Amino acid sequence: MKIIMLGAPGAGKGTQAKLLAEKYQIPHISTGDIFRANIKQGTELGKKAKEYMDQGLLVPDELVVDLVVDRVAQDDCAGGYILDGFPRTIPQAEALDAALERSGEQIDRAVDVEVADEHIVSRMAGRRACVGCGATYHIQHNPTKEEGICDHCGETLILRDDDQPETVRKRLDVYHEQTQPLIDYYRAQGKLAEVDGAVPMDEVFDAIVRILGE
């Protein structure tokens, strides 16, 4: 099962992708997480990506495409995977399709998690991310057992640099301009599934599983 998660920043793609990866026992591949890990490690890729991410802009396609194409060719992806945050532009989607086609494969479904812009800014202000394992929480909708401490690894939680309201607004603009066209791209391929992301997380999850199958 090869799945793409679509949706605005903060729509809940990462939350659902982690749950789906656990249910279907396939890797969760988040380009945002890959960049954040590189930033933490101080790699050249991380330094370049940070310049764009801190401004709410997309990292250039040439820094993303090969990275994902190589990742999905690894052995643990043979049974499928969930892509979260990729593709994000039409050229990224075309490059992915072309790479998969070369090995006789294709994406099965693109799931669009829909949340209106007005909910996003407040949702992001309440998000907390773990500096250790990357788990995400919400101070109201998905709190940790102990405030400010990750339930999974015990590390400290932070407000991501790009979750400041001004940067979130910029990310939303970039999403509408560059990423939303992917909805029509996958609709034209007959692969699009749309779910309401404004309802509680377990309801979003159930709706996606109904689409993908048990």
Q: Which is nearer to ligand AP5, 104 or 128 (CB)?
A: 128
Q: How far is the CB of 53 from ligand AP5 (least distance, A)?
A: 4
Is residue 171 involved in binding ligand AP5 (CB under 6 A)?
A: yes
Q: Which is nearer to ligand AP5, 104 or 203 (CB)?
A: 203
- Grouping H, G, I as helix, E, B as strand and the rest as coil, residue 29 is strand
Is residue 86 involved in binding ligand AP5 (CB under 6 A)?
A: yes
What token pair was written down for 209? Answer: 């599983």
Instruction: Give the helix ranges, DSSP H, for 105-200.
Output: 117-125, 165-174, 181-188
Bridge partners (DSSP) listed for residue 110: 4, 192
Q: Which of residues 21-50 bind ligand AP5 (CB under 6 A)?
A: 30-32, 35
Active-site residue flag, 169: no
Q: How far is the CB of 26 from ligand AP5 (least distance, A)?
A: 17
Q: Which is nearer to ligand AP5, 26 or 96 (CB)?
A: 96
- CA dihedral (137, 210, 115, 24) in degrees, to 10, reads 40
Q: How far is the CB of 76 from ligand AP5 (least distance, A)?
A: 20
d(CA 8, CA 179): 8
Strand order of the β-sheet with 109-114 is 28-30, 81-84, 2-7, 109-114, 192-196
Active-site residue flag, 88: yes
Cβ contacts of 57 within 8 Å, gap of 6 or more: 170, 174
Is residue 15 involved in binding ligand AP5 (CB under 6 A)?
A: yes
Active-site residue flag, 123: no
Candidate list 50, 109, 123, 127, residue with the active-site label = 127
Q: Write a three-state SS string for 77-125.
A: HCCCEEEECCCCCHHHHHHHHHHHHHCCCCCCEEEEEECCHHHHHHHHH
Is residue 154 involved in binding ligand AP5 (CB under 6 A)?
A: no
Candidate list 71, 160, 170, 187, residue with the active-site label = 160
Candidate list 36, 50, 88, 123, residue with the active-site label = 88
Q: Which of residues 114-153 bind ligand AP5 (CB under 6 A)?
A: 123, 126-127, 136-138, 141-142
Q: Which is nearer to ligand AP5, 76 or 203 (CB)?
A: 203
Active-site residue flag, 13: yes
Residues forming the active site: 13, 88, 127, 160, 171
